[in-house]
Amino acid sequence: MKIMVIQGPNLNMLGVREQNIYGPMKLEQIHEQMRAFAQQNGVEIEFFQSNLEGELVDKIQECLGDSDGIIINPAAYTHTSVAIRDAIAAVAIPTVEVHLSNIHAREEFRHKSLIAPVCAGQISGFGPFSYHLAMVAMLQILNEIRAMKEMQKQQAANQE
C-alpha cells in the first residue's frame, strides 16, 4: 500500500510564516511524524511539495497506477484550482483533503473548497494533528477497499 502526500504553496514555509495560524512545526517535522506512522502500519509513503499549480496537477496524475491513496493540502489552491480538482477526479484515487487551520473559521473566501467535492473527506483545524487524522482516515478507506475486493473475489469464486 502506498500513500502520496501532496503539499501546496507556501507549506514549505511552515514554522516561519504566521505561526499564530499554522503553528511552529516545520513541514519536514510533520512528514517525519507521518513517515513513522506509515512505517508502524506497513505503508509506503512519499512526499511532494510545490508552489506551482501545474506541478501539483502533474504529481496527482503520476499517482495513477503508482499510489493507492492521496493526502493533499492544496493550501491556497483549495479555493481557486479547478485544475487540481479535475486532476483528482480524473485519477479516481481515494483522496483526503487536509488543512492545518480551520478554513471555515477564517476569512470568507477560505470557506469554500473546490477540492472537497472530489475527495473522500476533508480534515481541518487540528494543526499538525490534521495530518495524523488524514493518515488514519486513509488507512481505513484503503482497508475497506481491500476488504470489498476480497469479498467480491470470494463471491465470484463461490459462483463458479
Catalytic positions, please?
22, 99
Gyration radius from the chain CA atoms: 16
E-strand ranges in the chain read 2-7, 44-49, 69-73, 95-99, 121-124
Dig out the grid coordinates for 80 from the structure: 481557486
Rounded-to-integer distance, Cα 25 and Cα 20, Å: 11
